[in-house]
């Protein structure tokens, strides 16, 4: 099949990103209590309801973050980027809350937007970046 004969994708959105976490309840408390995310789904499933699908998201976001137990191995090691129109204000808000593994200050590198990183208790990284200007 040639390049010109390929059908373009019908995928239009990234719906769910996934982080592995050691304790879903502790992760839920961190993302809702510290970061201000909201619960988008919390469903038990499996033959004896032994599994749990848990999703959180920033208010107004179409994309969600699933907080899953590891499927072998250890939790952590994932990363996502989130956007804000006020990087400095969000950094100050999170620093004031306390108890968050947060970069000391936002940074700007040449060619990149203003940003900072935080780490959840399982070692997953959340990169907070300045929203691109509306086009």
Model confidence pLDDT, tens digit, residues 16-29: 999 999 999 999 99
CATH number at residue 103: 3.10.180.10
**78 inside domain:** yes
Task: Name the token pair of 67.
Answer: 């907080």
Q: What is the mean pLDDT of residues 8-37?
A: 90
Domain range for 68 is: 15-130
Q: What is the mean pLDDT of residues 110-125?
A: 91
Judge whether residue 5 has pLDDT over 70: no
**70 inside domain:** yes
Q: What is the mean pLDDT of residues 42-47?
A: 87
Judge whether residue 7 has pLDDT over 80: no
pLDDT at position 77, please? 87
pLDDT at position 10, please? 63
Q: What is the mean pLDDT of residues 115-134?
A: 90
Kindly give the pairing relationship between strand 79-84 and strand 125-130: parallel
Strands (E), the chain: 16-20, 38-45, 51-57, 64-68, 79-84, 101-102, 115-119, 125-130
pLDDT at position 110, please? 80
**76 inside domain:** yes
Helix (H, G, I), strand (E, B), or coil: what is residue 126? strand
Question: pLDDT by residue (tens digit) across 57-116?
Answer: 999 999 999 999 987 778 888 999 899 999 999 999 999 999 999 999 999 888 888 999
Question: In sequence order, what are the residues at sequence separation of 6 or more whose Cβ sits closer than 8 angstroms to the Cβ of residue 119?
Answer: 101, 125, 126
Kindly give the pairing relationship between strand 51-57 and strand 101-102: unpaired
Sheet holding 38-45, edge to edge: 16-20, 64-68, 51-57, 38-45
Please count the structural domains in the chain.
1
Kindly give the pairing relationship between strand 125-130 and strand 115-119: antiparallel
CA–CA distance, 34 with 17 (Å, rounded to integer): 19
pLDDT band per the 50, 70, 90 thresholds, residue 8: confident
**64 inside domain:** yes
**1 inside domain:** no
- The DSSP output letter for 59 is T
């Amino acid at each position: 099949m040639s390049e010109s004969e390929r059908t373009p994708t019908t995928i239009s959105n990234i719906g769910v990103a996934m982080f592995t976490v050691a304790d879903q309840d502790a992760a839920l408390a961190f993302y809702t209590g510290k970061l201000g995310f909201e619960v988008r789904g919390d469903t038990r499933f499996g033959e004896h309801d032994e599994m749990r699908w848990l999703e959180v998201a920033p208010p107004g976001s179409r994309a969600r973050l699933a907080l899953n137990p590891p499927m072998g191995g250890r939790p952590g090691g994932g990363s996502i980027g989130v956007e804000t129109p006020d990087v400095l204000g969000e950094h100050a808000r999170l620093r004031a809350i306390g108890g968050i593994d947060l970069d000391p200050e936002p940074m700007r590198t040449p060619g990149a937007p203003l940003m900072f990183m935080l780490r959840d208790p399982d070692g997953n990284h959340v990169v907070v970046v300045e929203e691109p200007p509306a086009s």
